[in-house]
Amino acid sequence: MKLFTYERADSAQAAATDAAAAGAKFIAGGTNLLDLMKLQVETPTKLVDISRLPLDKIEERDDGGLTIGALVPNSDLAADARVIERYEVLSRALLAGASGQLRNKASTGGNLLQRTRCYYFYDTATACNKREPGSGCSAIGGFNRILAVLGTSEHCIATHPSDMAVAMRALDATIVTQKADGDRRRIAIGDFYRLPGDTPHIENVLEAGELITGVELPAPVEAARHLYRKVRDRASYAFALVSVAGVVAMDGDTVKSASLAFGGLGPMPWRNPAVEAAIVGKPVTTASFEAAADALLADARGYGSNDFKIPLARRTLIASLRELTGTN
C-alpha cells in the first residue's frame, strides 16, 4: 500500500470538491478499494471518506418509487421491507453477492463502481489496459473463464462483477450525483456505464469528483414476477458466470412487459431491448424464448476458456423465462 492522505468530508458538495483533484478517490465501505490498494492496483494519493455523510436513508418518492441513499449498506437494502415487497429482484440480487460481512460494509454507490475481477487486472506484473492504459490485454489469449462474451473490445474483455447493478439495470434505476462544480445530475443506469472500446480504464460517465449520492427506483411494475438467477462456480462467495435479473408481467398467456438484465456476460450490467422485444406482446412459447436468447447472444464472442458462457447464458435465460412467465 502506498502512502496517501485522508480527509473526511462533511457534505456531499465538499466531498465532490475535495475529490476533484487528480489521484483522489472516495471511500465508503472500502470493501473493494482497500483490497485493490493493498495490491497497488489502485494507488490513490488522497482518500475522501464519505462514510459519515447523511446518505444512508431509503425514502419513499411521490411517484411510488424509492430513493436509496448512496451509503445504504447492501445488507440493509436487501432487508428493507419495501424493497422486498416491490423490488424483490433487487433484494435477491444483493443477497446473491459477497458474504454477510461484506454486505454489512458495502455501500450502494460503491457497489455500482466495483472494479472488474479479471485475474490480470489484479496482477500488477501483467499487461492490463484497464489498470495501465496502453499496456495490452493479458486476458485475450490467456485464461479468461470468468470474463466477458458481450460488449468486449480488442483492448479489454473484463466483466462488471456486481449483482446489485444488474437488478438495478432491470429496474431502470437512475443514479443521482453531486458534481464538483455544485451541479447535481440524474443519470439513467443505461447511460451510466461505458463500453471498453479503446479506453477500458474509463468505466462510467462520472466526472472528476462527481459523487453518487443516491439511486432512484421508479414505481414498481404492477403484478410482475421477479427473478434473480445467479449461476456460479460455488454456492457462495463467487461472482456470477451468468446472471439474469428479470421483471415480467403477464396478460393471460401473453407477455405484457418484460425487463431483463444480465450479469457475468459483459463489461457492464447488460441489457438489450431486442431480448425483451422477442417476447413482449407474444404468447409464451419455447420459440419466443429461444428468439430472446438468439437476440441476447447474436453478437456474443468467446475467448477460449469462457466459450461455455454462451450456451450457459442461453440455457439460463430460457429457464429463467419459464419461471418468470409461470410456464415451468
Q: Which is nearer to other proteins, 141 or 197 (CB)?
A: 141
Q: Is 327 in the site for other proteins (CB under 8 A)?
A: no
Give the x-and-dash track for 82-121 against other proteins (CB under 8 A): -----------------------------------x-xx-
Q: Is 22 in the site for other proteins (CB under 8 A)?
A: no
Q: Are 284 and 327 in contact (CB under 8 A)?
A: yes
Residues 6+ apart with CB under 8 A from 305: 143, 144, 145
Q: Which three cell numbers stand for residue 27?
A: 471511500
DSSP calls for 19-47: TTSTTEEEESS-TTHHHHHHTTSS--SEE
Task: Say which DSSP state 274 is in.
Answer: H
The angle at the Cα of 144, spanning 139 to 145, to the nearest 5 degrees, equals: 170
Q: How far apart are CA 208 and CA 22, in angstroms?
A: 8
Q: How far is the CB of 325 from other proteins (least distance, A)?
A: 14
Q: Is 280 in the site for other proteins (CB under 8 A)?
A: no
Q: How far is the CB of 7 from other proteins (least distance, A)?
A: 19
Q: Is 39 in the site for other proteins (CB under 8 A)?
A: yes
- Footprint (CB under 8 A) of other proteins, residues 132-161: 138, 141-143, 145-146
Q: Which is nearer to other proteins, 15 or 36 (CB)?
A: 36
Binds other proteins by CB under 8 A, chosen from 232, 256, 282, 301: 232
Q: How far apart are CA 158 and CA 114, in angstroms?
A: 12
Q: Is 205 strand, coil or helix?
A: coil
Residues found near other proteins in the complex (CB under 8 A): 1-3, 38-40, 117, 119-120, 122-126, 138, 141-143, 145-146, 231-238, 241-242, 308, 311-312, 314-316, 318-319
